Structure 1
């Protein structure tokens, strides 16, 4: 057969080859019964029961996703819970029931109205329609007793083709079985694309209606680099593209074109992610999210369990650095067995280090014991401990005193330990402004751009209506980064970055120019960022950074970056 080619939007810098498998979610409901047969009170009760079931299902899926992919990806499910409780939606369903529709048809009709509204909007807001579809599907299944299609058990080597993939669809995909996916709709910022990058899955979105002509069972190549889907590829194409990455994996620390070393590390959320990070050439772990150890269980992990996990990370990178973030829960990161407050604005509430120095002090001390023991184990690697959501110097002092107290306890017990590197995440404007005072108390800073952006710009993460504001290329964000780096210059404090910005190769030159020593990201982006580093000259990078810092609008920054990537 002649090789055919379709084009869409490449979502990941990966390619894969496999067999096309079409995924079609639940079929339509069919016509509703005669309104005279409907008991509105019974249907409203059925709807409330379905909402409760869907809410629990979403919360469980959020925890699984946080553990597997990370907190940023899991946050999409917070919006799904909000849709369940949105008065416009619930009142719409109840009104439809009063009009004589059974609960499942009322849900279908009400959600369709909001889906059409979102799709009529522009940009990332339109992509929220898939979130509504996801919630609608859960409710309809709960009402009808149906089961969701199991995408986690597809035949090995499957390439999933679909009209669209919702967040819960994509979260099911197993990279060990699925060779990639392609969808008719979607954009690079869709949740399917974001999840694909976290899963390191070759993916193309927005192929268009031509994708529907691709039959089940044919061989296809998914090239997520340039957004190309090849149908019936010839043997040469299969041989050269099957399983290849867009960029060569580089082992060892990479240097700029003029010899400046930049550490390129990976963010991980589970112990299983360690091997993937090593395979993709990460120098170490720049963000080990420890929340996964505490989620989806009835009680917190003990000291020994945590010790074994941290030691495994050090053994995976015997010549590298492993930066472990202490427990970061509270607000938008619920843990079932902890008494977390119901806060009106959880992003500004009791979370991160605020809980570790308060109601979760016992958990904090247990975690520090495990970390200090791991640092003292003969596992190789440099262990570093990092505090989340710091806002004051006093918090850092108190945390350090706690660590020293834990060390004294281990010493008196005759338990082997070592003091790790000690640092803080720069994710609040307060720590950026106080960086010059914090350098006296820490060994490193790690800039968490995901939260830093939302706090600097007062633009909630995941809120599509303020997506343009919540962008790390905003001049105010760049200046907060520069303020942090400047405070560390001339000291022994190194500065890294572990937010989404670090994994964007289009801004690597800018970050080198700003003076970052380390960049940490999703493992799938490591090869690309290492290549970008090797192609960067420090003098030119500094010139780019100076021009970007002088910019007063995001548009000016975008134009500068476009010029450098041509």
Structure 2
């Protein structure tokens, strides 16, 4: 038995048979011809056709990913499509072709340079190199007229990634987001990669699929032979070669939710551990993992991939289905959050130069799309009066002004009066706001006076506090929720609500990282909501925490001047 170490990405364990995935084996380029022999016009046409084919494949991958893991995770493929139109990439490739370089070589060369630039950087920006590889490989497959199968060392073709044999532990140099989105979680017992990080898009998709994963194992992983017995421990970041019977037995029990009851810290402070849900398909797995309800029910999935908005009845049925799955727990529904990176074609959203700072979230609901907002509120208030509806809570996204909260609350009252006049059963649920903007953090005390709860959305809060577009790779190094400025915004929010009747939660990747649980408890959060797969690990971590020690840790983190110091503190 031999143990390799890496970074645990999905906190589950699995045992199976090693199968290597080497997509590069099928992407061997032909020898370069003499530039004078290259028909530049024909090569430019081939490149144009390859872009069209890649675009279609990316859109298909986005649709499949949205259906399987949710719209939020599938959004990465929209960024992939943008790479196809990036003038720096496209113009350079065309220029190389016009100088006598065949299209496949021009694509390979230009993407190689871009990948090298990303990998020279730290953190999430380096991990975005995998997204470039994904787009590059789609273009090369189209240009070389080959499929997606890859060759294994022994010459046998590796099966299509969507149809791997049961009990496969997939090994690779790295996996792209589209590779990972193809995997069948019922067949794949685990993933281990030589390179990669926990916040890479492929790792996020693997978590959404509940596939045990360890990334960044390094060169020792290459020594693992095809067909070897492996255990992948995504909690402790271990890959065990030829695991013994005891290790296998421990991994086999990991599939069951370890904690189904609510939990408290070692000194008795209760912490709610809920799940983020982005589609109806995610509701049952969240319940199976022991989530204390739903802390973020993203309603956007109801509006995508259709010709017109969902009806009131469709929305009512989706929400009541979630309530039925968690009859004793809270279900927090976020009202429609579109705009920015979330577009809906039939709504004709405004074309803005900086959509993340434009009309999105509650701004659109109170203005251009008031009709959609009121229809959604009708469905929600009706759901609040259904069986189990007392657990419903509704929160408004991208709040930055008190006037918005007041207007939203007035809309709720107006819809309630309308339903009453129609003789329709309804109830007013808990109302809350997402804290995603610095304005909301600064106004947290006033928001807590008006509302039943606040929920910190760390992805957007980090983006706005750091003035760093989370989709802009040029500033990816700034997008770190552990930056002291972001931590202080979280602390300010929780402190402002302390002593009031309002509770404070958090949703996003940060909430689902067990390594950060003590810090978040110390910052005063009452609820943590995350990908369902991480619920058991976070619950177990909560039980180990002493509240006083957690607060001391938080105070030390808040005193740090750089994110590097915060990470050093947490790693220590």
Partners in 1 of 2:211 and 2:326 — Cα distance? 24
Cα offsets for 1:366-401 (capped at 9, x unmatched): 221221121111145601111111111111122222
Match of 1:288, SS state, is strand
Which one of the candidate residues 163, 168, 192 is aligned to 2:178?
168
Q: In structure 1, what is the equivalent of residue 157 of structure 2?
A: none
**For 1:255-282, what per-residue CA distance to the aligned partner results, in whole angstroms no more than 9, with x for missing partners?**
1222221111111111111122112211
Shift of 1:81: 2.8
Tell me the distance in 1 between the aligned counterparts of 2:413 and 2:57. 42
Q: Does structure 2 conserve the Cα–Cα contact (< 8 Å) formed by 1:318 and 1:381?
A: no
**Of 369, 384, 392, the match for 1:383:** 392
Q: What is the CA–CA distance in structure 2 between the aligned matches of 1:482 and 1:205, rounded to whole Å?
A: 31
Q: Which moved more, 1:94-103 or 1:554-563?
A: 554-563
1:172-194: CA deviations, max 9, x gaps?
22222211111222233333323
How many positions carry a matched residue from both structures? 560
Counterpart in 1 of 2:13?
A: 15
Displacement of 1:418: 1.5
Secondary structure of residue in 2 paired with 1:541: helix
Map 1:463-542 to 2 at 5 A.
463=472, 465-542=474-551
- Structure 1 equivalent of residue 470 of structure 2: 461
- Mean CA deviation greater in 85-94 or 463-472: 463-472
Alignment of 1:142-541 (within 5 A): 142-149=142-149, 150-242=160-252, 244=254, 249-379=258-388, 382-463=391-472, 465-541=474-550
Q: Show the counterpart of 2:22.
A: 24
Per the normalisation by structure 2, the TM-score is: 0.91
Where in structure 2 are there 5+ consecutive unaligned residues?
Answer: 150-159
Q: Distance in 2 between matches of 1:518 and 1:119?
A: 36
Counterparts of 1:214 and 1:507, CA distance in 2: 32
> Retained in 2: the 8 A contact 1:325–1:386?
yes
Instruction: State the distance in 2 between where 1:10 and 1:223 align.
Output: 7
Deviates more, 1:146-155 or 1:360-369: 146-155
Distance in structure 2 (CA, Å) of the matches to 1:55 and 1:153: 23
Q: CA deviation at 1:444?
A: 0.9
**Aligned CA-pair RMSD:** 2.5
Deviation at 1:213, TM superposition (A): 4.1
Residue of structure 2 in register with 1:558 after alignment: 567
Higher mean C-alpha displacement, 198-207 vs 325-334: 198-207
The answer to which of 278-287 and 457-466 deviates more is: 457-466
Distance (whole Å) between structure 1 residues aligned to residue 459 and residue 261 of structure 2? 27
For residues 470 and 490 of structure 1, do their structure 2 counterparts lie closer, same or farther at Cα, with a shift above 3 Å needed? Answer: same
1:199-249 alpha-carbon deviations (Å, 9 max, x no partner): 22111223334434434334321122333323333444323323526x962
Change (3 A) 1:388 1:228: same
Partner Cα separation in structure 1 for residue 100 and residue 557 of structure 2: 60
Consecutive unaligned residues of structure 1, counting only runs of 5 or more, are: none
Deviations 1:507-534 (A, max 9, x none): 3223222221111111122122212222
3-state SS of 1:262 partner = strand
Instruction: Show the counterpart of 2:127.
Output: 127
